[in-house]
Amino acid sequence: MNIPSHLKKVKEVDWTIEELEDFELECKKEWETGEVLGPVHLSKGNEKELIEIFQYVHPNDYVYSTWRNHYHALLHGIPKDWLMDEVKRGRSMKIINKEHNFVISAIVGGIIPQALGTAWALKQKGSDRKVWCFIGDMGFETGEFHLCYKYAKNFDLPLQFVVEDNNLSTNTPTNETWGKKQEVPDDVIYYEYERGFPHHGSGTWVLF
Amino acid sequence: MVDSLTKQKEEMAKFQEAEMLKHLDLRYKNEIIRSMEWLAEKDDTIFLGQAVNYSGNAMFNTTKTIPTEKRIELPVFEDVQMGMSLGMAYEGVVPITSYPRFDFLICAVNQLVNHVDKMSIISEGQYQPRIIIRTSIGSRIPLDAGEQHTQDHTQAFKNLLKRVHVVVLDEWHDVFPAFKHAYERQPVSKYDSLVTLLIEWGDHYNAK
């Protein structure tokens, strides 16, 4: 995984791989009770990469994420009890926390233009805060990414993209649908991993 | 001799234009200009879109008196523009985001319907961004700009949008109060939206 040289570490991450995995296992347990009346998208397999990346994310920075957001939320300082309550309320796909500048969208590529706008506003204010935009490999191939990456780069906006490549969009292989994957720009953080849970749910039949 | 004739022709043209303007009722357009100038006096507003800084559409004539530092001419990327406006609004900026024709706003429907319209609901009122969206039903008189430049999608958008306020500016006296209200109104609940879509009539710019 490449970390662009202009980025500097700003903090130590106080989560371990095991603690992150344990949180998701607790979510899995709650999900399998059949009382969580909303989808969950569990993370597994990218703990090491995210722990490294979040050393560069300042707590005051914005983090934009997707439907699979629990690790991003925890590593950005959102209290785990609050997050678990949200998951239990069926809001796993709606994790938004203004206090921690954490925004998600459940639409592929949906966060990218918003992240661009926030980066524009921060630069306009003379702020030294950044915007981190975590997207999947299919989001990386969208027109939204191309447009926003180009605009952010041309206007030197504080927008850092992170591409998390499990080669699956829901269950559709990205490389197969596009024929191949695009080149990764040097200033984009990119890593590959194998998804440890299904797209949503836990892989266990749940009776609601 | 030739110079004298040219001068006479120019003077005649100016006279004819002045005479024509005496007979036009420009209150509708002037009220839009007054609204834009009033909004431009606010520290937190910014004007963005196509034809806010360069001519090319009648809407330009309603923003050209605004200080250039308040205007951002954007590339043609309507959906990104809408998402960008939302991302700016998270940071307290009030974007006046312009789509010179309703036909062009169609290209921004993903960000408008899935994100701008839903943010107060998804975030349970943590984010209630204020955005003023301008669009215009393209003029048919005296030139009919055709099927792709003159559509009125008002009813369709009223059906699509759950929270965004949709306001049609039918008469000149509707204009200023509507823009003022869009900037000043406060939420009545945590699920209320502070986003307003204001629909202008291109044919009224020079007729009402």
Residue A123 has what pLDDT? 98
Average pLDDT rounded to a whole number, residues A52-71: 98
Beta-carbon separation of B86 and A114 below 8 A: yes
Is it true that the peptide bond before A198 is cis, omega within 30 degrees of 0? no
Pairwise CA distance, residues A120 & B85, whole Å: 10
Q: Is the pLDDT of residue A173 over 80?
A: yes
Residues in A touching B73 (Cβ below 8 Å):
none
Q: Model confidence at B21, in pLDDT bands (50, 70, 90)?
A: low
A203 or B44: which leads in pLDDT? B44
Summarize the confidence of residues A201-208 as an average pLDDT.
88
Strand partners, B196: B132, B165
Q: What is the pLDDT of residue B29?
A: 93
Confidence grade of residue B68 (pLDDT, cut at 50, 70, 90): very high
Residue B22: pLDDT over 90: no
Return the ∠ at Cα A66 (arms to A197 and A196), rounded to 5°: 15
Q: What percent of chain A has pLDDT over 90?
A: 96
Q: Once rounded to an integer, what is the mean pLDDT over residues A22-49?
A: 96
The token pair that represents A134 in the structure block: 């975590």
Gap between the Cα atoms of A10 and A194, Å rounded:
28
| SS3 track for B75-129 | CCCHHHHHHHHHHHHHCCCEEEEEECCHHHHHHHHHHHHHHHCCHHHHCCCCCCC
Among B8-22, B54-68, B121-135, name the one with the lowest average pLDDT. B8-22
Give the mean pLDDT of chain A. Answer: 96
> Are the Cβ atoms of A120 and B92 closer than 8 angstroms?
no
Q: With b meaning 16 or more CB within 10 Å and e meaning fewer, what string describes A107-117? A: bbbbbbbbbbb
Cross-chain Cβ contact A121/B82 below 8 Å: no
Radius of gyration of chain B (CA): 19
Rounded to the nearest 10 degrees, the angle between the axes of helix A111-124 and helix B78-90 is 50
> Chain B residues with CB inside 8 Å of A155's CB?
none
Q: Provide the pLDDT confidence category of residue A56 given band limits of 50, 70 and 90.
A: very high
What's the pLDDT tens digit per position in A70-102?
A: 999 999 999 999 999 999 999 999 999 999 999
Q: How confident is the model at residue B5 (pLDDT cuts 50, 70, 90)?
A: confident
Mean pLDDT to the nearest integer, A110-135 = 98
Kindly tell me if the per-residue pLDDT of B70 is higher than 90.
Answer: yes
Can you tell me the mean pLDDT for A188-202? 94
The predicted structure's pLDDT at residue B56: 84
Instruction: Report d(CA B97, CA B89) in Å as an integer.
Output: 11
Res. B155: pLDDT tops 80: yes
Contacts of A137 (CB under 8 A, 6+ apart): A163, A164, A165, A166, A167, A168, A169, A174, A181
Residue whose structure tokens are 């001519």: B55
Q: Is the model more confident about A158 or about B204?
A: A158
Our CA-based measurement puts residue A117 at a distance from the nearest CA of chain B, in whole angstroms, of 4
In chain B, what residues touch A62 (CB-CB under 8 Å)?
A: 90
- Collapsed DSSP state (helix, strand, coil) of residue B65: coil
Q: What is the mean pLDDT of residues B34-40?
A: 98
Residue B145, CA distances (Å) to A153, A185, B118, B187, B202 in order: 36, 42, 33, 38, 11
Query: For residues A43 and A75, is the Cβ–Cβ distance under 8 A?
Result: no
Please report which confidence band the pLDDT of residue B204 belongs to, taking 50, 70 and 90 as the band edges: confident
pLDDT in tens, B105-133: 999 999 999 999 999 999 999 999 999 99
Contact A113 B75 (CB under 8 A): no
Note the pLDDT of residue B154: 98
Taking residues B181-198, what's their average pLDDT?
96
pLDDT at B19: 67
What is the average pLDDT across A101-125? Answer: 97
Given A62, A97, A147, which is nearest B80 (Cβ)?
A147
The answer to whether residue B3 scores a pLDDT higher than 80 is no
* Subunit contact A117:B87, Cβ cutoff 8 A: yes
* Contact residues for B176 (Cβ-Cβ < 8 A; gap 6+): B31, B34, B35, B38
Confidence of residue A193 (pLDDT cuts 50, 70, 90): very high
With a cut of 80, say whether residue B173 has pLDDT above it.
yes
Contact residues, chain A to chain B, C-beta under 8 Å: 62, 94, 96-98, 103, 105, 107, 110, 112-122, 124-125, 144, 147-148, 151
Mean pLDDT of B61-89: 97
Are B83 and A103 within 8 A, CB to CB?
no
Look at the pTM and tell me if it is higher than 0.80.
Answer: yes
Cα–Cα distance measured from residue A172 to residue A168, given in angstroms and rounded to the nearest whole number: 5
Q: Say if the Cβ atoms of A147 and B85 lie within 8 Å.
A: no
